[in-house]
Amino acid sequence: MRFRPALALACALSVLAAAAGSADSIWDYQAVNPDGTGSHPLVGADPLPENRVTVEGVALAGVAEILNPADMYTIFIQDDTSRRGGIQVWSGRFYQGPQWRPAEYVDFQAGDRVRVTGLLANHNGKVFINDRHSGSPETRFTVTVLGHVGLPDPELIPSVGNCNFFDPTRRDGGERYQTRLVMLHGVQLGAGNWANNSLLTVSDSTGSVGLLLSRMGDFTGNPRPQGAISVVGIMDQEDNALPYHDAYRIWVKKQADVAAALGSCREVQSLAAGESVALAGKVVSRVFDGHFYIQDEGRAGGVRVVSDREVTAGDVVSVMGTVVEQDGEKAIAARYIAFGKTRAVPLTVGGGVARLSGSLAPDGLLVRVPGTAGPTSQGGFTLYEDSGQPVAVSLSAAAAPQPGARVAVTGVAVRRSGSMELEAAHGGDLRILE
């Protein structure tokens, strides 16, 4: 057969294209089994050159912002080409001995775009890249700083109940946000020391989740926040027993990433300059050079935001920053702006939904209803509300609770054939009450 260079080139290109097209994303590497371990075939694969993966993204913290670089090296990488996916990279001095730190583990800053090539492994609910706890150069990962793009905008998590449970489909829950920069607004701080390396909790009406203060942070000696707070940090999981369904936490870098959570824009006017504050789900009204205005959706008030971020009238944003005075008015100098989301906390209907009708009926609304589990049925169960009335609950991806269990069901209230039903999306919508 005659050699046909054009065809050979075309074949080579198509092979290359196929290889490029099949390159998996960080999100693909993070896919989970029902027990929370990684399901990608390269997770835990033999330490061979062909089993190494290459990922790129933005470092969410600098080399000395989270763990002590004298003992550990870690990068939290967020996929900046997609709205989903992040991966941690980790090595410890203990396993590397006197070679610490190997030359491959270079310095980097928060906001640097990095490329890492290495081996995937499971770690307590995360698929990460590590050196397999070996000092061998063959298992080391390599890190390249590609440039500096700055931190991504955090993503507002609608409520604690959206991030404190395991959803293997990753449409919601901790896996949806894992190893990405996130914001929680309007949460209460639980018990525990306000100090570096302290693990606390934050909660709202939908549940609680961990809050880990960075070992290398500036929390020790700074005042413990009071009242409702807003936090920006890295969504993380550290569950030391299978199944890896629990122990989600927001890993916060600095005191400045925690602020008083305000409800309305107007509240800024009564605060002193220098206070850290946050507002969630506000509407951009007008944009000027170096600042813009946001207002409450109900138009109760508005406030200036000092920021060069590109926004457009009508954008919904959440803002965290410091109260300043500018041109004679109180404003927020933005440290973070989260785009396009608002808080979506279910309406708690303590007396039940079955009795509500007409203009009071919460048709199509997300509600949270406490009650007692009754008999299971095809695709769901009956909930006996505290009023004594039965309501059908449909579960698309969760097992029904034991009859007699005290539960709170979150779901969309829908009217079918004249009676109200609750449609729950996932296991996080079903909480057993103590």
Q: List residues near Ca ion by CB under 5 A.
A: 125, 237
Nearest to 59 by CA among 217, 156, 231, 180: 180
Q: 125 or 207: whose CB is closer to Ca ion?
A: 125
Nearest distance, CB of residue 258 and Ca ion, angstroms: 24
Task: Transcribe 316-381 into DSSP letters.
Answer: EEEEEEEEEEETTEEEEEEEEEEES----PPEE-TT-STT--GGG--TT-EEEEEEEEEEEETTEE
Nearest distance from residue 110's CB to Ca ion, in Å? 23
Least distance CB 96 / Ca ion (angstroms): 26
Dist. CA 317–CA 186, nearest whole Å: 15
**Smallest distance from Ca ion to CB 210, Å:** 13
CB of 29 to Ca ion, least distance (A): 12
Q: In this complex, which beta carbon is closest to Ca ion, that of residue 250 or of residue 316?
A: 250
Q: Give least dist CB 241 to Ca ion, A.
A: 13
Q: In angstroms, rounded to a whole number, what is the distance separating the alpha carbons of residues 67 and 11?
A: 48
- Sign for the CA dihedral angle at 385, 424, 175, 40 comes to positive
Do 364 and 413 meet the contact criterion of CB atoms below 8 Å apart? Answer: yes
Our CB check for Ca ion shows the closer of 100 and 244 to be: 244
Question: Is the preceding peptide bond at 101 cis, omega within 30 degrees of 0?
Answer: yes
Q: Cα dist. 86→57, 104, 171 in Å?
A: 8, 21, 15
Judge contact between 199 and 257, C-beta under 8 A: no
Residue 434's CB is within 10 A of a number of other CB atoms, namely: 3
**Residue among 125 and 302 whose Cβ is closer to Ca ion:** 125
235 versus 391: smaller Cβ distance to Ca ion: 235
Nearer residue to Ca ion within complex by CB, 237 or 410: 237
Q: Smallest gap, in angstroms, from Cβ of residue 72 to Ca ion?
A: 20
Closest residue by beta carbon to Ca ion:
125
Angle at 279 between CA 299 and CA 256, to 5 degrees: 160
Shortest spacing between CB 217 and Ca ion, in angstroms: 23
Nearer to Ca ion among residue 105 and residue 248 (C-beta): 248
Task: Give the C-alpha separation, 246 to 174, whole Å.
Answer: 9
Is the Cβ of residue 35 or residue 71 nearer to Ca ion in the bound state? 35
Q: Which stretches of 163-254 are assigned E, i.e. beta strand?
A: 181-189, 199-204, 207-213, 228-237, 248-252
Query: Among residues 176 and 304, whose Cβ is nearest to Ca ion?
Result: 176
Cβ neighbours of 323 (radius 10 Å): 21
Q: Which sign does the torsion angle of CA 13, 15, 16, 22 carry?
A: positive
In 93-111, which positions are buried (b, 16+ CB within 10 angstroms) versus exposed (e)? bebbeeebbbebbeebbbb
Shortest distance in whole angstroms from residue 231 CB to Ca ion: 20
Question: 428: which DSSP letter?
Answer: G
